[in-house]
Each structure stands twice: as C-alpha cells, then as structure tokens.
Amino acid sequence: MAASKTALQPATIDGLLDREQARFLDTHPRSAAAWEEGKTHFLYGGPSHWMRRWAGGFPVYAASAKGAHITDIDGHDYVDFALGDTGGMCGHAPEAVTRAALHQLQNGTTMMLPTEDSLWVGAELTRRFGLPYWTLTTSATDANRGAIRIARMITGRPKVLVFSGCYHGGVEEAHVEIRDGKIGMRNMIHPNGVDHSAVSRVVEFNDVAALEEALSHGDVACVLTEPLMTNFGMIPVAEGFHAALREITRRTGTVLIIDETHTISSGPGGYTALHGLEPDMLVAGKAIAGGIPAGIFGTSQEIAERLWKIVPMVNPRVRQSAHLGIGGTLAGNALTVATMRAVLEEVLTPANFERMIANATHLAEAARKIIADNKLPWHVTQTGARAEIMFMPNPPLSGADVIAGRRGDLETLLHAFYMNEGILVTPFHTMFLMCPATEPADVDRHTQVFGRFVDLVRSAGVV
C-alpha cells in the first residue's frame, strides 16, 4: 500500500498542478495573450529569460506596483513576497527613492563623473559594512566579477572556490555543483566551453575539512560565499564555520569575499555586521539602489594597498591607460548614486528593518504552527526579514542535503496555487521577503493561503 501510494504521488501532484495552471489561464487572459505576443519578439518570451520560470505556465504582466502589492493587467492584486527576488526589498515605488530619482533625472543621469551624493554614499557604505574602500557596478554579478578579478590580480592564482548549491549571478566560476559525488554544472546550466577544473573548486557548505583540503593546494585566489546560503533553499551556517573559514583563508593567503546580495535582509549592515564577520571584500546589489540596477563591492585596507601596487592611483601628469579589466560606462552613474543615497538614508533604516524582521517572524511562526498542527515533515527557516518554507523535515547543512530531500514538485505546486490566491513568491524557491511597506495583514493573508494549500495537499494524499 505504501509503495503504491509513493508511486502515485508525482502523478497526483502533476494533476493538481495542471488544475492550478488551468485556473490561472482562465483568470489571466490578458497576461496569457501578452505572453504569446512576447514570444514573437523575445528570445525566451520576455525581456529576461528568468521571466519564463513562473509556475503558472506564463508570468503575470504587471500594470503597477506600490509598497508590498502588485496589480496585473487582468486587474488582480497580489501581496508581493518575491519583491523582485530581493531587488524590490525597499518596496515598490518608495517615496524617497522616487523623489531622488526624479530629481536626478532632471539634472542628468550619467556623465561618467562623480557627484557629491557619491561622497555621502561612500562614507555610509564604510559605516554600515566596515570596509574602507568601495566601487560601484551595475549589478551584483559585475561586483562579484570585479572582486574575483582583483583577487586573482593580487594573488596570481587562477581558481575560485565556491560552495555547492551557491548562486552568485552570472559568475562563470560559480556555475558548478557536487551531485552524486561528482562535480558538474549546477541548475541545468549548459556548458559553454569553459574548463571549470581550471578556474573553479567546489566543496559542500559547512564542511571545514573539505575546505581545508581544497585550499591546501595554493591555487585558489578567493573563496566566494554568502554568509549563509539562500538560493538553494536556505542553508543555515553551522556553529564555528565562519571562524574556521576566516582562519583557513588567512592562513592560506586566500581572499575571502562575502556576497550579501540576499543576506542584506539580515539588517542595516547585512549578516556581516550583525555577526561581526571580517571579509577581505564584500559584495551587495539588487536592493541597494531601490530597484535601479546597481551593485557594490568593498575592500579592506590590505587588499586596496596590494591592488594599488599593481594599478596605482592616478598620476595627473600621466595619461592613465591601465585599468582593472572591469567596469561599465554606466557604473556609478548619477541616477544610481542618488537612489542609493535615498535607500541608505531613508529606506533601509534600523527602524524599517525592525518592522520587516517582525513581519518575517510573524510569518515564520504562523507557518510553523500550521506545519506542527498538521504533523507535516516540513520546516521554516528565517534570517532577518527573510523566511522560507522547505518541504523537508530539518534544515539542510549542505547542498547535498537539499538535493537529497528537496521536494521541487511541491514547491512548483505551491507557487502556482499561491499565484491563483493572490500571493507572489520568487519562483525559484519558497522564500518570503518583507519590505518596509509589508503589513501584518499581508502576513495574515499568507497564513490563510498557506493553510488552504496544506488542506489541498492533505486532501489529495500527496504528503
């Protein structure tokens, strides 16, 4: 009986998903038509290939967004817990960002010259994150690439170490994972001629022994890591791991780069400031300019001085032709800097983080109660303003744990069901992010919908 039920589960879940997608199509005719039209113009249907990944079979087309809500072209309202996969963590159209952007648009968006706002932003980044020197980019991907390139320049080493299951944007070196004991391309990414054995090392998160061995060869320029993993399902950091990571990287002369692009949701200075970490370089992006494309990376005094020996500060009497091999004409443009100042000064404030974290705690506790009341083998993890429901009994310690226990079928069904019930979560995982405009009523709405989802899957016998 048990074996028969297990064998039927995927088909049953597929049937539920078919029903939810049919319901979505029936109630979203304008978005469906827009998606079909988009396929005639865009390589993957929408302006970004990411947009094809929504579980309804096609994405909703947004008409407007304000605060923590989105309205689509079919007239539906959504509580938005996706928030642009963190890019909208400030909320949609926050007044301070809109005001700063409009002012700067009237005074020029990009001149390849600094503005006085940049002086304030640089000082604030140092105050929040602790590193003395900063560079602005157009995305966290570019910030990661820049940090990696600098690490290779100052160490002379070729490889980047990442943790299996990581995500660091379009960084080629991070497109690897360990699956069934073998190293290969992560997340169904297709090879493109890069020899990853020459540029990457990959070990499991929280595995100190594997980290020690991988760095013992002396060919790794940097370790690139989130302070805890967020993009493969949330993987908490084991006690003592950060201390070991810092000690081993220092001892082996390896640059430690911490990517706070998602974990900036932990507080005003991200997870790094909250837990007193000491990276050599720190990266962030997405939310840092209120949804305007931007990234940042900071360096320690030691890293800066090593870099200046290779590429010195500008001598005004000599044409400076050498550069770092990174950049972008729009990096650090006046519009981005103006909105970044507004975000740091008026939006991602301690008071707003307190409110965001309280709402995330409310959501996590309510979800845990439903899970416990229904005796389900699921768990909820929270870090700051971010919470995640995972369909496995215990929090994973590594990417291997996620691979072994993750229920991608239930995640997809939940995403489709939620869209039909007026809730958006990032389609790549079941993670919920709060913004300053998120209200307790929005969280209560989620609790009601999650309860209905549990009723659905229990009545179908798929859990």
- 40-52 pLDDT per residue, tens: 999 999 999 889 9
pLDDT score for 316: 64
Q: Each residue of 93-117: pLDDT tens digit?
A: 999 999 999 999 999 999 999 999 9
Q: Is the pLDDT of residue 79 over 60?
A: yes
List pLDDT tens digits, range 253-279: 999 999 999 999 999 999 999 999 999
Q: What is the pLDDT of residue 11?
A: 61
- pLDDT, tens only, 327-379: 889 999 999 999 999 999 999 999 999 999 999 999 999 999 999 999 999 99
Secondary structure of the chain in the HEC alphabet? CHHHHHHHHHHHHHHHHHHHHHHHHHHCHHHHHHHHHHCCCCCCCCCCHHHHHCCCCCCCCEEEEEECEEEECCCCEEEECCHHHHCCCCCECCHHHHHHHHHHHCCCCCCCCCCHHHHHHHHHHHHHHCCCEEEEECCHHHHHHHHHHHHHHHHCCCEEEEECCCCECECHHHCEEEECCEEEEHHHCCCCCCCHHHHEEEECCCCHHHHHHHHCCCCEEEEEECCCECECECECCCCCHHHHHHHHHHHCCCEEEEECCCHHHHCCCHHHHHHCCCCCEEEEEHHHHCCCCCEEEEECHHHHHHHHHHCCCCCCCCCCCCCCCCCCCCCCCHHHHHHHHHHHHHHCCHHHHHHHHHHHHHHHHHHHHHHHHCCCCCEEEEECCEEEEECCCCCCCCHHHHHHHCCHHHHHHHHHHHHHCCEECCCCCCEEECCCCCCHHHHHHHHHHHHHHHHHHHHHCCC
Alpha-carbon distance of 407 to 182, in angstroms, equals 22
Burial (CB count <10 Å: 0-12, 13-18, 19+), residue 275: middle
pLDDT (0 to 100) of residue 181: 84
- Whose CA is closest to 78, among 111, 56, 99? 56
Residue 2 has pLDDT above 80, yes or no: no
The CA–CA distances, whole Å, from 461 to 11, 13, 16, 75, 95 equal 12, 9, 11, 34, 47
4 has pLDDT over 80:
no
Mean pLDDT across 5-22: 77
pLDDT digits (tens, 9 = 90+) for 279-292: 999 999 999 999 99
pLDDT of residue 188: 76
Calculate mean pLDDT across residues 194-200.
91
pLDDT for residue 321? 58
Overall average pLDDT of the 218-242 stretch: 96
Three-class SS of 171-182: CHHHCEEEECCE
CA distance 455 to 382: 24
Under the banding of pLDDT at 50, 70 and 90, the label for residue 125 is very high
Average pLDDT estimate for 409-428: 96
pLDDT value, residue 191: 83
- Note the pLDDT of residue 318: 61
Q: How far apart are the C-alpha atoms of 295 and 287, rounded to whole Å?
A: 9
At residue 357, the pLDDT reads 98
pLDDT for 208: 98
pLDDT tops 50 at residue 296? yes
Residues of the chain with pLDDT > 70: what percent? 96
Q: Minimal CA–CA distance to 148: which of 205, 250, 225?
A: 225
Cβ neighbours of 443 (radius 10 Å): 25
Nearest to 154 by CA among 369, 309, 271, 25: 309
Question: 8 pLDDT band (50/70/90 cuts)?
Answer: very low
